[in-house]
Structure 1
Amino acid sequence: MSLSTESSREADELSESSCDSQDDADTCPVHSNRSIDGEDNTATDYLQEEIEPEIRPILIRMLNLSLEFAIFCVIMINLTALTKDAPKISKPPAAYPFFPKGSLVTDWYRGHVSQAIEYSRANDIAFIMFYAPWDAECQSGKKEFEAAAKYMQDYVSFSAVNCWHPQSECKVQYSKVYRWPVLIAYPSHGRGVQYNGPISAPHMIQFLKKVCSPIVRLGNENPKDFEDIYLIASLNTAPGSLDFAVFYTAALNYLEKDPEYRITFFVTPTPTKHPTLHLQLWNETLVYPTHEKPWAPDEILQWIFKNTHQITTWVSPSGSKSLALYNNMNNHPTLLLFTPKNPLHHSTDYYNMLQDVSQEYHNCNDNVMVSMHYLALKLKRSVNVLHHKTLRATCKAKSKGPTNRRIISTLASAWTNISTCSKEDKNCNFLDKISSFCLNLQSKGTIDLAPLISLHTDELCESCKAGTDDPRSAEALLKLYNKEKCRQFLTAEKLHPAVLENEYNYSPGKVRNISGLFCQTNRSLTFLAMDSLLNYHFARRLGVDLFSRSDKSAAVIIGDKMESHYILSGPLNGKTIRDFIFNFTKNLLSRSLDSPATLLNSNLESIKKADSNVKSIEIKELDTKSFLPAISLENK
């Protein structure tokens, strides 16, 4: 029993005795109330007496355990503080060059991105590859990047930056890049233009040519070199023109947003204060509202993408999960043309054939503008075929690679162009002519040019011996232009020869008229094209083996609602594809049951036929004892 309980009982006994000894009766009721409280306290104390003996040992044990745990924590903290060392961070492995020694690509393999960009800005145009050495796409793209550098070395500077080396400048600045490589072209001024096309040398070359010349100057002639849509701007192109700078920037930014380059930018020099812009589509011409929208690159591009609509277009899936193909199909049956798209050729004949067919298919009311555009397209196709055959006949079969052109200084070329030397007078005294010319200048109070003349004497004499040897003469420039066209043509033919309809699958006979068939049925078609060299696996999923066809081309109609597809059998040309469309519209086609499994079975059958002469094949099972003797056999 606790001391507090005993003291409370003694106090109660004293109070009771005092109440009995007194005669005042008024105090007893008060004591009776206290006695009631005392009884409650007695009950509480009784419960405490029953419970406390059981709880006290538990509380003592918990207290001791807490003390022990606290002592253990203090000891461990002290031990950790005494034995703690600085964290050991292993040094990153030494950086090594990604590109081989002697490469045309300047490799900043330690990740010095600021120096790389500063070095690149010193050139007119620079193409930089930001890479991670371990990435498979970077390793496979290294050869393509070097091939592009070999072709464009006279016009573009090529560099590469390692953005994965730990603690490097590039790694710190671009730590949130999730896909490698990143390719960016840097003009001498303005922001860089990112390349988003396939990692292949021909596509990179096409992109760099577009960066070098994003705008085509147009005179009084009509636009020729365009594929789908073209844009014509009439504006002031004088030096320092802000209108031209805006249009030039819009053309560069467009290359970043559309890897297919479906729109060609033309400019017509006009001495005007208010620029005009026309977007030429297949069935209409739209005018940029300069009174409503500002003349700015972003506004121009937004207007272009918002108003562009095509009946035929190229589709290039990114290789990862995307809705590019689904969005272009628009929940309609789709005619999908697989054909090689050579980026170094000016046009693709089979794609032009698809454009002819689609415009005829959509010409419902004999629209005059559509009909004129259709005739212009047919004429352009004929010109392209003739141009290709001319290049094939005139260009040499063997490529000579990059030309080593010697460009003399601007001062020397000035003397060369005004020289009176001719082809007949090859031994003319060029120094005497220069001396007499300089004396005339000095007599008029000009500066003394004798030191400069003596410095460039050899170059001037060498250039004057024959008028056509001047690298800046009209004849030399025309020769260089033709040589460059042949070089591009031969490089394109190495990738894949051009596929022409009249050479591969021309079918004489009456061609079916499908004009306006689009408006006569509810099963209207969407026309798409895919590069069979890059996207052959899509055709394989549909049961088409493109590599077994000489032209690597095929046409398939995909019906999304019926989950069926139809394959054009036989040759692919304008006649058969029109019959194919007509039979689909009339529901006369049989559903194709081909799939990758059928292609696999056909390949197995061909293998069996090839091995039919072999009687038996012995396959020996190797173990630990027979492995080394088996691999050590000669001629095996």
Structure 2
Amino acid sequence: MPQGEKQVLTTTLHRYSRYTKYLLTIMLYFGEIFVIILFAFTSYASLQKGALRVQFQSPAVPLLHSNATVREFYEGDIAVPFFTVLQSDVSLVLYYAPWDFDSQLAIQDFEKIANKYKGQVFCTSINCWVHSGLCKKTFLKLRSFPLILGYVGASRGIQYRGPLQYDYLDKFVQSLLTPLIRIETVADLNKLLIQSAVVVTGFFNFDLAKPKGFYPFYTASLRYLEYDSRKTVVFAVITNPSAAQRLGIRLSMPRQFDLRLHLWNETLIYPYNDNAIDTSQLLQWIHYRSHSPMQFISPSGRKNQVIQRYLIEQQRPSLILFTPSSILSYQTMVVKEVALNYYNCVSSPRITRLIQESEIQRDAMEFSRLAFERQCGISEKRKCLSNNISINAHQPSKDDISVEEKCEFSYEPILPKLEGLGCRTNRTLNFFVIDSHQYPNLLINLGYSSKRINQNSYVVFVVDPMAESHYAMTLPLTRQNLQNFVINYTEKRLRRFHRSRQKKQKTKKSCYAGRVCIEEISADDFTTIVLDPLYDALVLYKKKGCVFCEIGARFFLKISQMFSSPSSSILKKTNVRQIKFATIDAEENILPWQYTVDKFPTIIFYPAHRKHDSRIYPHNLELNEANLLNFTLSHLSLKNRIIWFTRFCQDTACLQEAQRQIDAQIIIIERNIRRSRNHLLWPENSDRKSVAKIQNYVKERHFFKELGYSVRKAVVDIPGGHKPDEYRDGIVLLA
């Protein structure tokens, strides 16, 4: 290396080292200054003698009036109420937060329960939100309100998990008072099987002072209420030895008890070991072994997956009865009879006997209702409070026969075709019951309006998640109509449920001159507007909460504006029809299968005179004005395509391309005219249809020649080869 270059390199390295040391020194000083400032602020804060400002909770106030039957401890005390709970036979405790809306509603029904069971059940409410109260300090894991617990004596609390309504809460209290039902005869067992889904029976040696296994069985009946607020599983005790023998129950010396699970199609015996019953194992055994042809669905009202688990994940169609009653009603028994017969695959005498027993009880209910209406003088058109009639009504007497004949009250026999149908088809139904008053949104989402719910609360739907469709039963709910409905669904005779929701019509003032308005149609308007054979239609499918639908609607509106005003001189001379633009909410409106979509947003073009040849805007193509405009033009008829093509041309080159297409079309028409004329030279081909065809060709040729003349004139009129820029977004048409 030359000496000069070496000296320059040494000087450069020396300067670089000096700058580096300078920067490191500055960074060191800044770090020390930052530490000093931080220490100063910390010292200043520590020397402050003022206490932290804390906003105290406002003093608690009672939710109920002073004369209420419910003893309210609004300051959060739990010592006094629990002392009373331990001394009471049955108690009901409501833990609430005063700001919680559900708590405010629940405490009203809670007071009605306290008034009804005054002297039988001790009812108290505790404010578990006061920070200074013992309830807040004791129950730290209480995350939701309200919480209702039932206590029987000194046993642990039984949580109520059902709907916060009076009817359901009343049934829960009745179950606390009488968790076990007495069975004297076999007929009593059959009645319980109709009224409930599962019956758990226990037969014990009551000759002993403390029957072995009875207390765990009693405890299990109480604990099961936490998972079965509707009391679909009934615990019963057989007290008549002769009835036990008829059921095949015999106690031997080493065996001191007998537990059985009675289902609709079988009876299971509980496996016992060492003459002892484990309550947890018994509850698990009941839970996993229980099944019923008809189930009650009771969502908690909070975020859960109950509907998903029962209706969607099973991948099977479901028949759902929406009923306003929380008790077993006439309509519920009709559905259960159909379900029993639907699953009676081997013509079981046991199932046949249950159906007959259900008919007897249902007849008794209906005769009682008719007798009640006759006594009250209520006409058949008015509603009667028949839901309060007990299911154990008296049997019809001879005097009631005239009522039956007068009201034409009769039952048609079940068709043999329905028996065992669930085992002969791949479209097997599940049967469910849902409270329509407790969960009206489910009905509304299925397309049943709230007005129709008030008129008729007993509604039957078949929901098929695999086919993404549902079907409604329009006839009155009778056994004959229901079984025909099931058979028609199995044989694919039902039509998909039609749902149409029309938006409020906009006034003419809102769509004034110079403003582009797109009509939002419903399923009822789809046929008359979109499927009109004389017009081309472009439809935007959207749904609520779709962000991309809002973005696509802007481009859709812009294209609608471009096609709305044919003001050019070329279009004034043509008789071109306007394109119909419309949007539809595909979630709120159920269309026939051939017009549904699976993605949102989706744009479909329905051409005139060939609606079956509709085209979908490609989802893999970017949605913008130019692409949507070219998509629309490319699917128009040839005549309309050329007309609108000349409308959107912005320069001479575009008009020359339009002229080329017009000339090509004229050549094709003249070729068709010559071919048709040659065809007429033969005598056997000289008919009126051929002559009319030539006349139409001549009219089209004249039209395209006039259009070509207008295009050539427009080219000459463009100053500098460009038209005024009507669309400043720079739309480029592909020829």
Instruction: Indicate whether the TM-score tops 0.5.
Output: yes
Indicate the residue corresponding to 1:484 in structure 2: none
Whether 1:248 aligns to 2:218 is yes
Indicate the residue corresponding to 1:400 in structure 2: none
Change (3 A) 1:574 1:196: same
Indicate the residue corresponding to 2:352 in structure 1: 371
Whether 1:207 aligns to 2:172 is yes
Deviations 1:200-230 (A, max 9, x none): 1121111101001100122245323442221
Deviations 1:441-474 (A, max 9, x none): xxxxxxxxxxxxxxxxxxxxxxxxxxxxxxxxxx
Q: 2:319 aligns with which of 314, 335, 338?
A: 335
Q: Secondary structure at the match of 2:213?
A: helix
- 1:576 is aligned with what amino acid? N
Indicate the residue corresponding to 2:336 in structure 1: 355
1:152–1:205 Cα contact (<8 Å) kept: no
1:293–1:299 Cα contact (<8 Å) kept: no
Q: 1:262 aligns with which of 226, 229, 232?
A: 232
Whether 1:101 aligns to 2:66 is yes
- 1:587 is aligned with what amino acid? K
Residue 143 of structure 1 and its aligned partner are, at CA, apart by 1.2
Whether 1:234 aligns to 2:203 is yes
- The 5-angstrom pairing of residues 321-332 of structure 1 reads 321-329=303-311, 330-332=314-316
Indicate the residue corresponding to 1:193 in structure 2: 158
- The 5-angstrom pairing of residues 67-466 of structure 1 reads 67-221=32-186, 222-223=188-189, 224-225=191-192, 226-237=195-206, 239-269=209-239, 274-291=256-273, 295-329=277-311, 330-343=314-327, 347-385=328-366
2:369–2:389 Cα contact (<8 Å) kept: no
Deviations 1:92-116 (A, max 9, x none): 2111112222111111111112332
Deviations 1:113-147 (A, max 9, x none): 23322222221111111001111111111211111
**Partners in 2 of 1:551 and 1:295 — Cα distance?**
48
Q: Which structure's relative contact order is higher, taking Cα pairs within 8 Å and 6+ residues apart? A: 1
Indicate the residue corresponding to 1:582 in structure 2: 487
Deviations 1:560-586 (A, max 9, x none): 211111111121111111111111111
Change (3 A) 1:49 1:228: closer
Residue 505 of structure 1 and its aligned partner are, at CA, apart by 11
1:559–1:565 Cα contact (<8 Å) kept: yes
Give the gaps of 5 or more residues in structure 2: 1-9, 242-250, 379-383, 394-403, 506-520, 523-735
Indicate the residue corresponding to 2:475 in structure 1: 570
1:342–1:492 Cα contact (<8 Å) kept: no
Change (3 A) 1:51 1:370: closer
2:368–2:389 Cα contact (<8 Å) kept: no
Whether 1:542 aligns to 2:524 is no
**Partners in 2 of 1:251 and 1:360 — Cα distance?**
30
Change (3 A) 1:242 1:190: farther
Residue 61 of structure 1 and its aligned partner are, at CA, apart by 3.9
Identity of aligned residues (%): 25
Residue 66 of structure 1 and its aligned partner are, at CA, apart by 4.2
Residue 593 of structure 1 and its aligned partner are, at CA, apart by 1.2
1:232–1:268 Cα contact (<8 Å) kept: yes
Change (3 A) 1:67 1:290: closer
Indicate the residue corresponding to 1:512 in structure 2: 415
The range that moved more, 503-512 or 224-233, is 503-512
**Partners in 2 of 1:504 and 1:331 — Cα distance?**
43
Task: Give the alignment's TM-score, normalised by structure 2.
Answer: 0.57
- 1:266 is aligned with what amino acid? A
- 1:243 is aligned with what amino acid? G
2:150–2:157 Cα contact (<8 Å) kept: yes
Deviations 1:11-42 (A, max 9, x none): xxxxxxxxxxxxxxxxxxxxxxxxxxxxxxxx
**Partners in 2 of 1:562 and 1:591 — Cα distance?**
10
**Partners in 2 of 1:390 and 1:245 — Cα distance?**
43
2:163–2:301 Cα contact (<8 Å) kept: no
**Partners in 1 of 2:68 and 2:123 — Cα distance?**
10
1:546–1:554 Cα contact (<8 Å) kept: no
2:256–2:275 Cα contact (<8 Å) kept: no
Q: How many pairs are equivalent? A: 463
1:504–1:551 Cα contact (<8 Å) kept: no
Q: Secondary structure at the match of 1:143?
A: helix
Task: Give the alignment's TM-score, normalised by structure 1.
Answer: 0.65
Change (3 A) 1:599 1:557: farther
- The 5-angstrom pairing of residues 466-615 of structure 1 reads 493=388, 512-513=415-416, 514-545=418-449, 548=452, 551-594=456-499
Q: Secondary structure at the match of 1:96?
A: coil
Residue 386 of structure 1 and its aligned partner are, at CA, apart by 5.2
**Partners in 1 of 2:316 and 2:467 — Cα distance?**
11
Q: Secondary structure at the match of 2:320?
A: strand
- 1:332 is aligned with what amino acid? R
Residue 504 of structure 1 and its aligned partner are, at CA, apart by 10
- 1:288 is aligned with what amino acid? Y
**Partners in 2 of 1:241 and 1:375 — Cα distance?**
36
1:507–1:573 Cα contact (<8 Å) kept: no
**Partners in 1 of 2:386 and 2:93 — Cα distance?**
23
**Partners in 2 of 1:169 and 1:491 — Cα distance?**
46
1:338–1:532 Cα contact (<8 Å) kept: yes
**Partners in 1 of 2:375 and 2:83 — Cα distance?**
43
**Partners in 2 of 1:351 and 1:142 — Cα distance?**
30
Q: Secondary structure at the match of 1:250?
A: helix
**Partners in 1 of 2:19 and 2:449 — Cα distance?**
88
- 1:298 is aligned with what amino acid? S
Change (3 A) 1:203 1:217: same
Indicate the residue corresponding to 1:483 in structure 2: none
Deviations 1:125-173 (A, max 9, x none): 1111100111111111121111111111121111011111123222223
Structure exhibiting the larger radius of gyration computed from Cα positions? 1
Indicate the residue corresponding to 2:7 in structure 1: none
**Partners in 2 of 1:515 and 1:55 — Cα distance?**
95
Deviations 1:255-287 (A, max 9, x none): 111122111111124787521111111111111
Please give the root-mean-square deviation of Cα atoms over the aligned residues, in Å: 3.8
**Partners in 2 of 1:394 and 1:212 — Cα distance?**
33
1:122–1:188 Cα contact (<8 Å) kept: yes
Give the gaps of 5 or more residues in structure 1: 1-44, 398-488, 603-636
Change (3 A) 1:547 1:71: closer
Change (3 A) 1:118 1:505: farther
- 1:262 is aligned with what amino acid? T
2:204–2:212 Cα contact (<8 Å) kept: no
